[in-house]
Chains A and B, each alone.
Chain A
Amino acid sequence: MNNRLKVLRAERNWSQADLADALGVSRQTVNALETGRYDPSLPLAFKIAKVLEQPIESIFSE
């Protein structure tokens, strides 16, 4: 699964730590998500969409 997490974070000038804090996960998890090494659980994907104020399908794609 691909995602636009890194782009969306950069658009907001957020650091990995900012996003990690907002999501309640570690910086390593944010890094693993951005590099495509880890696909989030459904609850975390919804939380990402809420924090970034974007629909899930605009963040994640097959």
Chain B
Amino acid sequence: MSGLSPASLPEWARHLAKALLSGVVFGVLGYGVGRLAADHFPGLGPDLSALRWGDAVGGIVALGLLVACLGTFVTSFNRPSLGRILKLEGPAGDGEVREVRAQSAILGLSAIIMILPIVLSGVGLPVTASLALIALLLVVHTALNLRLYRSVDELFRRVVIEAGALTFWVGQGVLFLWAAAERLGAAPALTAWDIYVVLMAVYLVVSMIVTVRRGLA
């Protein structure tokens, strides 16, 4: 009998299996804790009844970005482990650690920017102030991204370009199908926020696949 042991699976499949398993385990755990908290302390948390499905997707994407940020930041303190993850001969050097921490900072800022419109819409801050804060963070985020892009070599740039192209290809396909259904009266209208969070969710998944395929993780 040909057993399908973890060792016989390709590396990307093992990563995917681990991610799915972690998602299921922590998803169930999180739901259980949330359910218990809601049952025992009603009214403790914020009122989530005003949240739409786009907010839920945005929250999940922000959480994914935050987990990636913390994961990369913590791993950057263990050079042998970081070296293995980056598939290097030996431990990671100063340059690699610096680069990973820069990526971690960008991921963290991405998570904040992603969740901020949802949070700010519920705290009663003036719209102008909220927009100004979001715009300011976006400028900082863009500057950090550009700085990182200029500091890396052609492989990293290729990954960024491929992830962008693939996201556009998948995103326009999904958007076209929805737009067609909407035009035919078979689907509800989307808001700019809905489209944006779906696009970011697609980008997150696509960039992970491209990164693994190119051997960067």
* A residues in contact (CB < 8 Å) with B: 15-17, 24-29, 31-32, 35, 37-38, 40-41, 44
Contact = CB atoms under 8 A, between A and B. Distances in A.
Contacts of A17: 89, 93
Q: Give the most central of B86, B87, B89, B215: most A CB within 10 Å.
A: B215
Contact of B155 (A15, A16, A24, A28): A28
A29 to B, nearest CB: 4
Nearest to B157: A41
Secondary structure at the B interface, as helix, strand, loop or mixed, is: loop
A61 B121 CA distance: 57
List the 10 closest pairs (A to B, CB-CB), nearest first.
A37-B215, A29-B155, A32-B215, A25-B153, A16-B89, A27-B88, A31-B87, A26-B153, A29-B153, A37-B214
Contacts of A44: 154
A26 B215 contact: no
A40 B154 contact: yes
B214 A26 contact: no
B156 interface: yes
Contacts of B87: 28, 31
A16 B215 contact: no
Contacts of A16: 88-89
B158 interface: yes
Given A15-B89, A27-B89, A41 B154 contact: yes
Nearest to B153: A25
Nearest to B99: A26
A19 B153 CA distance: 14
B152 A26 contact: yes
Contacts of A41: 154
Nearest to A16: B89
